[in-house]
Structure 1
Amino acid sequence: MGDEDTGWAPRRVLVGYDGSDGAKDAVALAKVLCARGDASVLLVNVLPAGPLPVAYRLLGYEEAPAWKGFFREAEDALAGLEVAHRTYLGGSPAEVLNDLAETEELDLVVVGSPHRGALGRVVLGSVAEALLHGASVAVVVAPRGYASHPHDGFARILAGYDGGEEAAVALGRAESLAIRDGRELHLLTVSTPATAAPGAFAGTVPPSLPDAGEVVTKGVKRLGDEVAVHGHALHGDPARELAEWSDPEDLLVVGSRSYGPIARTLLGSVSSSLIHSAPCPVLVIPRPHHHRPGRPCT
């Protein structure tokens, strides 16, 4: 991969935290993602200000629920990592999280699923949905119940790949995580009469339909020799095939649909469907628009 695709790992991680079971799932996933790297975690709680929309503001320690130990359980779960926390009043959770991710140059936003729907599946809520359609940084969604049992890293790193530019960026990130964690990387390409070409994982329908095996071969050739790579040519509906191929202990990495007019991610139909149906965490990678050096969260 190119230099911009190698060595990527989340070092400044933002976790949306409201004390719910879904938030605890997000914390558990953040711990797994950060366990093998030098990372700092920022826990952020957003409180409603009332029925009318108002500009959000950072609460002081005595104003926020932190003084009552609100973040203690999450801090305990993240033991060994550098952890900070903040509480904001007003605005929407997605607005606050996205603004922080952009202005403070964070690498990753972690959110959970609302605890309704099938256990072990991602059930996209309004906060996650808004983030995934509006974030300019990577967003990962934890499936429901992820915190209910311990995790020893990811069993496999999976990358949805269709030969397109966004998928290539996601493949590079998946490769970096597989190298960091010492895991096998599985490159998955799905062909159907309508989607087997560059752009399928970005929600577009291209005019040409290359062979899935050819796309897999080209994708494998993009990768280095530091990781064991397995290419798989699948057939059927892309979102359904990738979800069925995934196991709960995997991490599935996909690309977004690239940027809109203000450099925000537009989530493609395949990525959106995957986030609703996959049994494992789904990491959505936007196309990078600038390089940002990391610094610890405070």
Structure 2
Amino acid sequence: MKYLVGLSADQGGREALALGAVLSRSCGASLVVCTVTPDTWGPPSPARVDGEYGNFLHQHATKAQEKAKASLPPDVQAEFVIVSAASAREGLLQVASDIGADCLVLGSTRAAPLGRFGEGHVTTDVLRSAHLPVAVAPRGYSADARTQVRRLSCAFAGSASSPGLARRSADLAQLLGVPLRLVTLVVRDKQMYPTGAGYDAENIVSNTLREQASAAQAAVLDHWDGPVEISGEIGDGKNWKAAFDSLLWANAELLVVGSSSLGPLMRVFLGSNSSKIAHNSPVPCLILPRVDE
């Protein structure tokens, strides 16, 4: 297995590298750490400005990679590459294709709250077009030299595609040698101005959704014959953060999120709810491409 880490020169790149190291140690995957520099202009200019600019970009990327090499734990082996491309998205996806990467690992924008993930423009572009799983690290993510994934959680919505996502998550849990937890989030977001039905009716809807989610989880758990240990929990809160905080999260946990059903097959695409889950999760997320169940 090969995991491709997108290394930028900022803290987000170091967070991605830290998550990549944890994933590599957890499943024995090798790492390829890639920094993408912008293409310089085509034909050389008489003043050789384009060449000088290209050298500057390469030197800047080299320094970032030297720092990254020094920060890697000794038990994690990685290959470091620098490529030029029209965009970071294009460069990363091309390298992913060239090396046959099984997963792409990215960091968070600096605008995200500490401990939560936020999309920068590169991550947004990748999440709209990637054909492979994408792991994202929350802002401020770090791990010590012995950290491995200890538990896998699956964002289980109770929809028709949820059992399939649970099975895919179980395959990954088996690979990692960790238990699997199905997690359903019930959000009771009271707006300043409720709908005409009022808050009481909206709460009834939330309770109904919780009952349906509980029944959907039970249907999976009662007929589970997979090789991994599985459990189910429901997070409930007045907003997404509160719903997440109502659950206990293990040290070195990973949350699996399915792509939106509106996205194309075999592509990563975050819809409204999956995007909110990824943005509010207190642990790294692994976003899987949509497949035909």
Which TM-score tier does this pair reach, normalised by the shorter chain? 0.7 to 0.9
More helix as a share of residues = 2
Offset of residue 158 of structure 1: 0.9
Q: Which residue of 2 aligns with 1:202?
A: none
Conserved in 1, the CA contact under 8 Å of 2:33 and 2:80? yes
The whole-number CA distance in structure 2 between the counterparts of 1:264 and 1:237 is 32
Match of 2:286 among 266, 274, 283: 283
% identical equivalent positions: 28
Cα pair distance change 1:168/1:34, threshold 3 Å:
farther
Q: Which residue of 1 aligns with 2:79?
A: 84
The whole-number CA distance in structure 2 between the counterparts of 1:246 and 1:103 is 39
The whole-number CA distance in structure 2 between the counterparts of 1:262 and 1:256 is 9
Conserved in 2, the CA contact under 8 Å of 1:102 and 1:137? no
2:233 matches 1:232: yes
Q: Which residue of 2 aligns with 1:47?
A: 37
Cα pair distance change 1:137/1:222, threshold 3 Å:
farther
Q: Which residue of 2 aligns with 1:115?
A: 110
The whole-number CA distance in structure 1 between the counterparts of 2:38 and 2:179 is 43
The whole-number CA distance in structure 2 between the counterparts of 1:118 and 1:261 is 30
Cα pair distance change 1:105/1:287, threshold 3 Å:
farther
Instruction: Letter of the 1:22 partner, please give it.
Output: G
Cα pair distance change 1:146/1:213, threshold 3 Å:
same
1:155-208 Cα deviation digits (max 9, x unpaired): 431111124465344323432343344433211124579xxxxxxxxxxxxxx9
Query: Which structure's CA Rg is the greater one?
Result: 2
The whole-number CA distance in structure 2 between the counterparts of 1:16 and 1:186 is 28
Offset of residue 145 of structure 1: 1.2
The whole-number CA distance in structure 2 between the counterparts of 1:184 and 1:279 is 19
Conserved in 1, the CA contact under 8 Å of 2:31 and 2:78? yes
1:82-137 Cα deviation digits (max 9, x unpaired): 42222122311122212333454321000001234422111221111221122111
TM-score when normalising by structure 2: 0.73
2:78 matches 1:75: no
Task: For residue 143 of structure 1, give the secondary structure of its aligned residue in structure 2.
Answer: coil
Cα pair distance change 1:221/1:30, threshold 3 Å:
farther
2:102 matches 1:99: no
The whole-number CA distance in structure 1 between the counterparts of 2:128 and 2:244 is 20
Higher relative contact order (CA 8 A, sep 6+): 1
Match of 1:154 among 138, 141, 149: 149
Q: What's the C-alpha RMSD, in Å, of the aligned pairs?
A: 3.5
The whole-number CA distance in structure 1 between the counterparts of 2:217 and 2:242 is 15
Conserved in 1, the CA contact under 8 Å of 2:151 and 2:253? yes
Match of 1:185 among 177, 180, 183: 180
Offset of residue 24 of structure 1: 0.7
Number of positions where the alignment pairs a residue of Structure 1 with one of Structure 2 = 259
Task: For residue 225 of structure 2, give the secondary structure of its aligned residue in structure 1.
Answer: coil
The whole-number CA distance in structure 1 between the counterparts of 2:222 and 2:95 is 37
TM-score when normalising by structure 1: 0.72
Task: For residue 110 of structure 1, give the secondary structure of its aligned residue in structure 2.
Answer: strand
Instruction: Letter of the 1:227 partner, please give it.
Output: V
The whole-number CA distance in structure 1 between the counterparts of 2:74 and 2:41 is 37
Q: Which residue of 2 aligns with 1:217?
A: 218
